[in-house]
Amino acid sequence: MSTTTSTAPQRHILCMKWGTKYGPEYVNRLYAMVRRHLSGDFRFVCLTDNAEGIRSEVECLPIPSLDLPPGIPERGWTKLTTFTKDLHGLRGTALFLDVDVVITGPLDDFFTYPGEFLIIHDHKRPWRITGNSSVYRFELGAHADVLEYFRGHFEDIRKQFRNEQAYLSDAIHKQGKLKYWPAEWCPSFKYHCIPTWPTNFWKPTFVPPNARIVIFHGECNPPDALAGRRNRRFRYIQPATWVAEHWRE
């Protein structure tokens, strides 16, 4: 595991894995992609309920509790625990990455791009402030108020917001701290990598120019993209062979 010197700001890559949807290979490949695309030292932390099979360079730590009332499902809001005031004693800048992203370009600028809180702008509805939390950057411990307010007002929040990224974006925006990554850095596989119909039947998927982290949302993940898909007329995709070039250990 890489560590920083005492004089340099500490950089963290955070990811989260719980349940059985994603196996340890997702974390292992994410680490490998980061290592290939991020220069210098960093600390790679996976918040997880099961560290079995995860490579030794990754520091596995427990997912903090959301502290919700008994019987309330946590799954859709769990990422908010990254804003715990004291997240296992970690200090410095954290770049959170979903485990199912595919990294295709340099990452250094994600730590230097100006702003207190950076997130992907919603690709589908760009007129809204809502960000996509597949990739976000923040200072560890700096936004504990967002988590504490959530804990104290959960019933009202879940009536108003569909998921954690909607609530998170709104809360940070109200503080005047919300900024977005350059749009070309984090394209959506679903919206930006599949040729338009009907050319998707004969043209391959592609990585858009200047893409650095391709995000996957909806029903298609990297293995699906790699295999191709033929079950929906308007979403037919050729096998995305370029995924194999990047999504590997």
pLDDT for 63-77, tens place per residue? 999 887 666 655 579
Q: Considering its fold, how many domains does the chain have in total?
A: 2
pLDDT for 195-236, tens place per residue? 888 888 889 999 999 999 999 987 789 999 999 876 555 578
> pTM of the prediction?
0.92
Instruction: Check whether residue 125 and residue 234 sit in a common domain.
Output: no
197 within some domain: yes
Please tell me the predicted confidence (pLDDT) of residue 216. 93
51: domain CATH number is 3.90.550.10
Instruction: Check whether residue 83 and residue 202 sit in a common domain.
Output: no
Q: Are strands 213-214 and 102-103 parallel, antiparallel or unpaired?
A: antiparallel
Rounded to the nearest integer, the mean pLDDT of the chain is 90
Please tell me the predicted confidence (pLDDT) of residue 48. 97
Compute the C-alpha angle 59/92/25, nearest 5°.
Answer: 30
Instruction: Check whether residue 94 and residue 190 sit in a common domain.
Output: no
Instruction: Check whether residue 89 and residue 212 sit in a common domain.
Output: no
pLDDT for 130-171, tens place per residue? 999 999 999 999 999 999 999 999 889 988 998 899 999 999
pLDDT for 9-66, tens place per residue? 699 999 999 999 999 999 999 999 999 999 999 999 999 999 999 999 999 999 999 8
CA 20, CA 25: separation in Å to the nearest integer?
12
Instruction: Check whether residue 242 and residue 125 sit in a common domain.
Output: no
Last residue of some domain: 133, 160, 183?
183
> How is residue 194 annotated by DSSP?
S
Compute the C-alpha angle 223/106/116, nearest 5°.
Answer: 105
